[in-house]
Structure 1
Amino acid sequence: MEYFQEWEDTETTTTRTKTVKKTSSTTTTTTMTTPAKLYGKDLSVYDDVDVDTLLDKLTPEEINILAKEVDPDDSFLPPSQRTSYDCDKKPTGPLNRRQLIEHINREALETPDRPEAVAYVAGVIRGKKWNPPPPPQNQIDADEKIQIDLGDEYEHALTNASQEEIIDLAAILGFHSMMNQDQYHASLLNKGQPVGLGWDGITKASKPKIFPMDPPNSTDVDDSIRRVQNDDPKYIDLNWNNIKNISDEKFNNLFEGLEQNTHLETLSLSNTGLTDRGAEKLAQALENNNHLRVVNVESNNITPLGVVRLIKSLLKQKSVEEFRATNQRTQILGNKIEMEITQLIEKNPTILRLGLHLEYNDARHRIATHLQRNIDTKRQKIKAKYQIHLAAKGKAKIIRTE
């Protein structure tokens, strides 16, 4: 049973509502709410107020006073309208930037400097010289050089050591940063050093290896669109990576055929110039396709809102296990977009891998935790299916034996 009691506070003249809930047990829950007020009225009363009508009733003097009290944080407004400074002087003519700069420079040169209280004399200190306080004793002790006596045996061994032996010693002591890659591997393999790469050449870098360029993508765009539209059962992997100058019409034909396709599992559209317009068509296709497992749209021109739209479309069928969309036109997504992506990923029980650069640790940690949970759940399902298969197989053997 609920009892409602109202009273008026004599100090703040605010009406409060007190709700007392009684149950059959001895526990009593009390909830008190205080509505926010402005000039003695609830804020909801001002929702229907027409601001333009109120401004029309103000005089020009009152509008100027109101403008001085408000400082809008809008970069699209000129600085003269964003500050409270008001210049009543009329302009003397059109703005001439060159003459203005010449006038400023002339005024700076003609204006005399302020006289100094004490004349400057080279080599003479004016005023009190600041002396830094002495460092603490523990810092002085730490800065003192400690002379280490290695003994005659170690001194003789290091003096007569060869460059290969010194390199091996540096590797044993963990001074790997003092050696280049060739010296490090030579010390591990106990090989001699090439000419010019001894201990005296530790600052020399290894020459980079030249690898051949990747061959161009030879996928036939028109043929792949036709096979997707015809739902070819043998066509399970579509790769358009690094194919340039794909028209919007071909993207639309591909995504329209993808809505009815039941065999394609991998869709790779990396570095194809895909924009938000194509991403919207792709999102509609993902909402109708429940057979895709991998979607890759990396290195394109998709905005953060387009990435959010694609991730949101994965919640419709919940079949995609891997989604990659890093290296877009906008490198930084922002806190609001990352939190929205995090909430969408946490609602997806099937996604296992997400290729996306996140700046904030909270978003990275929450997404990594959820992906690990999805991986563990899938592993348990696979294990359960395997055990059921073994049990069914063993039961079949028993039936055959009987």
Structure 2
Amino acid sequence: MTTPAKLYGKDLSEYDEVDVDELLAKLSPEEIKILAKEVDPDDSFLPPSQRCNYDCEKEATGPLNRKQLIDHINKQAIETPDQPELKPYVPGTVRGKKWIPPPPPLKEQEASEQITIDLGDEYEQALSDATQEEIIDLAAILGFHSMMNQDQYHASLLNKGQPIGLGWDGITKASKQKIYPQDPPNTTDPDETIKQVQQDDPKLVDLNWNNIKNISDEKFDSLFEGLANNSHLETLSLTNVGLTDRSALKLADALEKNNSLRVVNVETNFISPTGIVRLIKSLLKTKCVEEFRASNQRSQVLGNKIEMEITSLIEKNPTILRLGLHLEYNDARHRIATHLQRNIDTIRKDLALRLQFRFFNHRKTPLIN
């Protein structure tokens, strides 16, 4: 049992009905000043000038001049003489008590003494007679990866002999960096391929305009106008070509009329989230595109509303198998992944049924005598 808190012999509940304003009206100005000094200075309801117990009785000399105040403080600091030292400074002598670090605890001393381990004559002899290859293998087993370079580590994993000069002497040697040649520029002629698309050339199955700079809007318009009536093109790659929403809408109109495209790639361009939704919506018209990629656009974040709209459109598409798009929310990623896997399983089942149908049709039934 805990006793209730009391103040001057009375319970705190009895002070709830006391009129504070009436009590303050009975106090004199001197008593109010004394009471103000006893107030909690951390009270945020008080102005900053009343949170300090110091009370200056001097009258204000005028408005605050910050620059003049700082100059006065600097002048006082310069003109004030330094306090003389009791003991003069002498180079090389220690004044006062010198700090000596305390000795380490007894447990740490015992642990440092136990680090030296005697392996015995057999192990010492085995380690002294071991070759560099065997020591490197042992280091890899014990996990001393940082003591070896890449060649030594992978050689120990693959149980290969070390090359000359790559033993313990080559611990600090780094393997040479492999220099790969840069990708050659895209030599595809946009004007020639536009003519092939418009003429429905059966030889043009894969159109790759990746990384071609300074493609005009007129060329995009001509390409997409010919794409609407093309029946042989299967792969369209337009990565890093400066594609904007204006051209993306023309591409969406062409995708609604094309029945041959299987792969569409418009990554690394300047398409807005609404433009991406328009492209994905166009895939529902013919339902022939199996792979669509549109990541790394100017707007990296699509937003919850756009992602949910894309998810609902993908769930209505029974033919798409791969989607290259960065999604931020787990719900959208999970639902799209589940639907894509369902489409893949459906295609596998259809393929298995077709194979069974062909097998039974071509099987020779034995003749019954």
Instruction: Give the 3 Å change call, closer, same or farther, for CA 111–154 of structure 1 in structure 2.
Output: farther
Query: What is the letter of the counterpart of residue 240 of structure 2?
Result: N
The residue matched to 2:228 in structure 1 has which SS? helix
User: Does the aligned pair in 1 maintain the 2:152–2:162 contact within 8 Å?
Assistant: no
Query: What is the letter of the counterpart of residue 284 of structure 1?
Result: D
Displacement of 1:292 = 0.7
Query: What is the letter of the counterpart of residue 192 of structure 1?
Result: Q
2:252 aligned partner: 283
- Aligned partners of 2:119, 2:340: CA distance in 1, in Å? 55
2:161 aligned partner: 191
2:89 aligned partner: none
User: Does the aligned pair in 2 maintain the 1:351–1:371 contact within 8 Å?
Assistant: yes
Displacement of 1:286 = 0.9
Displacement of 1:249 = 0.4
1:361 aligned partner: 330
CA deviation string 1:126-151 (max 9, x = no partner): xxxxxxxxxxxxxx99xx78856644
Larger radius of gyration: 2
Q: How does 1:173-192 map onto structure 2 within 5 Å?
A: 173-176=142-145, 178-187=147-156, 188-192=158-162
Displacement of 1:174 = 4.8
Q: How does 1:79-90 map onto structure 2 within 5 Å?
A: none
Runs of 5+ consecutive residues of structure 2 not aligned to the other structure = 1-63, 74-106
CA deviation string 1:23-72 (max 9, x = no partner): xxxxxxxxxxxxxxxxxxxxxxxxxxxxxxxxxxxxxxxxxxxxxxxxxx
Moved more, 307-316 or 370-379: 307-316
1:262 aligned partner: 231
Q: Does 1:311 align with 2:280?
A: yes
Displacement of 1:178 = 5.0
2:305 aligned partner: 336
- Aligned partners of 2:257, 2:265: CA distance in 1, in Å? 18
Q: Does 1:227 align with 2:230?
A: no
**Equivalent of 1:218, from 180, 187, 198?**
187
CA deviation string 1:76-98 (max 9, x = no partner): xxxxxxxxxxxxxxxxxxxxxxx
- Aligned partners of 1:259, 1:353: CA distance in 2, in Å? 23
- Aligned partners of 1:318, 1:235: CA distance in 2, in Å? 21
Displacement of 1:333 = 2.7
Q: Does 1:241 align with 2:218?
A: no
- Aligned partners of 1:337, 1:110: CA distance in 2, in Å? 61
**Equivalent of 2:222, from 253, 263, 274?**
253
CA deviation string 1:199-258 (max 9, x = no partner): 465465432211112222121211111111111222211111111111000001111111
- Aligned partners of 2:192, 2:358: CA distance in 1, in Å? 41
Q: Considering only aligned residues, what root-mean-square deviation do their CA atoms show, in Å?
A: 3.3
- Aligned partners of 2:320, 2:172: CA distance in 1, in Å? 47
Displacement of 1:181 = 2.1
1:154 aligned partner: 123
User: Does the aligned pair in 2 maintain the 1:295–1:323 contact within 8 Å?
Assistant: yes
1:170 aligned partner: 139
1:384 aligned partner: 353
TM-score (norm 2): 0.64
The residue matched to 1:244 in structure 2 has which SS? coil
Query: What is the letter of the counterpart of residue 308 of structure 1?
Result: V
Displacement of 1:267 = 0.5
Instruction: Give the 3 Å change call, closer, same or farther, for CA 262–151 of structure 1 in structure 2.
Output: same
CA deviation string 1:164-186 (max 9, x = no partner): 32221133345546533211222
The residue matched to 1:310 in structure 2 has which SS? helix
User: Does the aligned pair in 2 maintain the 1:225–1:254 contact within 8 Å?
Assistant: yes
Higher relative contact order (CA 8 A, sep 6+): 2
Query: What is the letter of the counterpart of residue 272 of structure 1?
Result: V
1:44 aligned partner: none
Displacement of 1:288 = 1.4
Q: Does 1:297 align with 2:263?
A: no
CA deviation string 1:300-348 (max 9, x = no partner): 1222222222112112211110111122222333333333322222221
Query: What is the letter of the counterpart of residue 235 of structure 1?
Result: L
Q: Percent identity?
A: 69
Runs of 5+ consecutive residues of structure 1 not aligned to the other structure = 1-102, 113-139
User: Does the aligned pair in 2 maintain the 1:318–1:349 contact within 8 Å?
Assistant: yes
Query: What is the letter of the counterpart of residue 377 of structure 1?
Result: T
Query: What is the letter of the counterpart of residue 136 of structure 2?
Result: I
- Aligned partners of 2:69, 2:173: CA distance in 1, in Å? 53
**Equivalent of 1:347, from 311, 316, 340?**
316
Displacement of 1:398 = 4.9
The residue matched to 1:267 in structure 2 has which SS? strand
The residue matched to 1:185 in structure 2 has which SS? helix
Query: What is the letter of the counterpart of residue 358 of structure 2?
Result: H
Count residues in correspondence: 271
User: Does the aligned pair in 1 maintain the 2:320–2:343 contact within 8 Å?
Assistant: yes
- Aligned partners of 2:167, 2:207: CA distance in 1, in Å? 51
User: Does the aligned pair in 2 maintain the 1:303–1:329 contact within 8 Å?
Assistant: yes
Instruction: Give the 3 Å change call, closer, same or farther, for CA 184–261 of structure 1 in structure 2.
Output: same
The residue matched to 1:302 in structure 2 has which SS? coil
User: Does the aligned pair in 2 maintain the 1:186–1:193 contact within 8 Å?
Assistant: no
- Aligned partners of 2:68, 2:296: CA distance in 1, in Å? 52
Displacement of 1:109 = 3.9
TM-score (norm 1): 0.59
